Amino acid sequence: MTHDLLVVGSANVDLVVPADRRPGAGETVLGGDTVVSPGGKGANTAVAAARLGADVALAGAIGDDAYGTILTESLRGAGVHTDLLRTVHRPTGVAYITVTPDGENSILVSTGANAELAPADVEGASSGAKVVVASLEVPLPTVERAITVAAGAGARTLLNLSPAADVGETVLAAVDVLVVNEHEAAWLLGSSAEPARLLELGPRAAVVTIGARGALVATPSGTVEIAAPKVKAVDTTGAGDAFTGALAAALADAEELETAARRAAEVAAISVTRPGAQPSYPSAQELRRR
């Protein structure tokens, strides 16, 4: 089955614990009640796009367990097609998240089933897709193959290089839009995180998210700053994925990159005003009312 937007990435359940501060090495800090929420960079990206009306499928892997059921129900409830979501013998991935009163978080991910998503699983998945977006909570060879195959099929390719990893030069050269945050940009470039320098690595354009300030869009024509709406953050979990999903949805809808980034910044800003990742993402109707 062909879909306009294909997301290749992880599906995790988030176990979120509010705390006054994050513990240091060897320290125990008491927190509030644990909240179980659907998450994972791939699933979050797909849900964010689907909530905005995109025809989107997720290529990923979950376990045959209760967490896998939570994720499948959330994806389908948002309108994400799950025909490419594999059920494997390992447990569903879990993200352990500590959220402090300022809305910032620390995350530890247990990869689980996500490690089983293989290059063969994405071999023909992008056929007919307008846009393919991949992120790095699944094996790097799978991401590299997804980008290479998608580019060869004529799809527009987005790589959310998060967590940061060494991606091959030929793969980066097949990327239409590289999406990173400030820390990932600095990791790629060393001490200087000048967005325009990311284009020297191979992608045709780059988008650097800069938290509450918005994003920087770098193309061969120059760099444009996209301001984010001013909001009071409650929980920043999944905000970057909301941005990527909204960006991909807009590009699949044939929007220009700068216009797509403005929409993405608005979606991400809304998401941080609510707890959780997927449950915080706005619908297209909500955006139209703003």
On whether 181 is known to bind a ligand per the annotation, the reply is yes
- Going by C-alpha positions, the residue among 175, 113, 171 that lies closest to residue 141 is 171
223 assigned binding-site residue: no
C-alpha to C-alpha distance for 122 and 30, rounded to whole angstroms:
42
Q: DSSP for 21-45?
A: S---TT--------EEEEE-HHHHH
Q: Catalytic: which of 4, 121, 176, 241? A: 241
Q: Is 241 a catalytic residue?
A: yes
Positive or negative: CA dihedral 235, 240, 244, 246: positive
> Cα 97–61–124 angle (5° rounding)?
135
14 is in an annotated binding site: yes
Is 192 annotated in a binding site? The answer is: no
3-state helix, strand, coil in the chain (%, to 5): 35, 25, 40
212 is in an annotated binding site: yes
The phi, psi pair for 52, rounded to 5°, reads: -90, 5
**Would you say 271 is a known binding-site residue?**
yes
- Any known ligand binding at 238? no
Q: Give the distance from CA 180 to its chain's centroid.
A: 10
44 has binding-site annotation? yes
In whole angstroms, what separates CA 212 from the centre of its chain?
A: 17
Annotated binding residue 276: yes
On whether 40 is known to bind a ligand per the annotation, the reply is yes
Ligand-binding site membership of 240 (annotated):
yes
137 is in an annotated binding site: yes
Helix axes 41-51, 66-78, angle to 10 degrees: 30
Is 237 annotated in a binding site? The answer is yes
**147 belongs to an annotated ligand binding site:** no
Question: Is 274 among the annotated ligand-binding positions?
Answer: yes
DSSP assignment of 144-190 equals HHHHHHHHHTT-EEEEE--S-----HHHHTT-SEEEEEHHHHHHHHT
Q: CA–CA separation, 173 vs 214, rounded Å?
A: 26
Mind telling me the catalytic residues?
241
Q: Return binding residues for K(+).
A: 235, 237, 271, 274, 276, 280
Q: Return binding residues.
A: 12-14, 40-44, 137, 181, 209-214, 235, 237, 240-241, 271, 274, 276, 280
Q: Return binding residues for ATP.
A: 181, 209-214, 240-241
